[in-house]
Amino acid sequence: MARVALVTGGTRGIGAAISKALKAAGYKVAASYAGNDTAAEKFNAETGIAVYKWDVSNFDACAEGVKKVEAEVGPIDVLVNNAGITKDGAFHKMSLEQWNAVIGTNLGSLFNMSRQVIEGMRGRKFGRIVNISSINGQKGQFGQVNYSAAKAGEIGFTKALALENAKGGVTVNAICPGYINTEMVQAIPKDVLEKAILPLIPIGRLGEPEEIARAVVFLAADEAGAITGSTLTVNGGQYMV
């Protein structure tokens, strides 16, 4: 029987690539999204992957959403915590709303989502949780104190949860992408991208969403049971740890 994977923020950008790659690898995939109905409907029509709408920063919404996914698709074996937002600004001008929104969606969602599936994974003696962090959670980034804090928190969350579940067949790992060729990065002015960003990347190009997706498929595999608490950097050599 095919394993079931749930990808948050799974209908656009990196999340869409992850959803597609998991389906191609033989998983039954469900993708959640927050608000872009048009993109989600297009994604569903193109891929046949089931889509579900809820706010990952809301614990009760996550509980209801996961319950629906498990009723319609099956018990979740693989959870990919990919959903994330940015609300950038220098810290001395940052509002409480900017802080809370990013921490809630990017970090709080890991608790909200993982809490819904961890008991089932432990009971079945199998589970894979993959958290999509960021290079900026490793090195920090000007104008992103909220985002960098959340993404660094994801790494700590990953390590602690991995320790708690290592003996139960449940692995927890993080992936830290660098600059990836998505809509968000494509929105950066071309001259800024070419003069200020690409020169910092040793391989000389942006990463592709599919390269992150392949890393997720690797960590989600049954054969990856000895890999837990790890942070996999996929940034073209921009930041090495």
pLDDT at 184: 80
pLDDT at 76: 98
- Sign of the CA dihedral with 96 first, then 100, 101, and 103 last: positive
Whole-model pTM: value is 0.97
Reported for 86-89, long-range contacts at CB under 8 A and 24+ positions apart, including other chains, are 86/144, 86/147, 86/184, 87/146, 87/147, 88/143, 88/144, 88/147, 89/143
Tens digit of each residue's pLDDT, the chain (241 residues) = 899 999 999 999 999 999 999 999 999 999 999 999 999 999 999 999 999 999 999 999 999 999 999 999 999 999 999 999 999 999 999 999 999 999 999 999 999 999 999 999 999 999 999 999 999 999 999 999 999 999 999 999 999 999 999 999 999 999 999 999 998 888 888 898 999 999 999 999 999 999 999 999 999 999 999 999 999 999 999 999 8
pLDDT at 84: 95
pLDDT at 185: 85
Whether 147 sits among the annotated catalytic residues: the reply is yes
Q: What is the chain's length?
A: 241
Active-site residue, from 33, 52, 147, 179: 147
